[in-house]
Amino acid sequence: MMHNLLAIKIWFGVIVSILGGAPLLAAELSYRPVNPSFGGNPLNGSQLLGIANIHKPKVEREVRSEAEFFQDQIQRRILSTISAKIIDDLRDSETPEGTYAFDDFTLNYVTSSDGTNVNVTIAETNGATTTIVIPRAALGNSE
């Protein structure tokens, strides 16, 4: 028993001398950002952007002919002109409701009962509907 106690004391002494004899060093933790957006070195910007672009998946763009591109532009221009006419009609009209029919969709508008909003519903031929609530003040009427 005495022999075991002596062995434990010796091992304890060895461990304490090893751990106690080694200098324990610690320093204050500091963080220095890498990304220049968060205060890091501005010279890291191009490298980080290059790494991000490598990881970004490539998106294949649809190749369209000049004729298709022109057709899309014409269609957008026509729809823009029609929408401007509809807004003018809504602004100048005292009619509380109306309908515009096109090939692919029907546009219905109804003025709310209190007269502060215009509810526009677009019903497409495939069954999808979209409802837009426009405040009367946004139309620019003098009411």
Note the residue count of the chain: 143
Residue pLDDT, tens place only, 25-73: 677 888 888 888 888 889 988 999 899 888 888 888 888 899 999 999 9
Question: 110, 97 in Cβ contact below 8 A?
Answer: yes
Closest CA to 82 of 113, 60, 104: 104
Residue pLDDT, tens place only, 108-137: 888 888 878 888 898 998 989 999 888 877
Give the pTM: 0.45
Question: 111, 117 in Cβ contact below 8 A?
Answer: yes
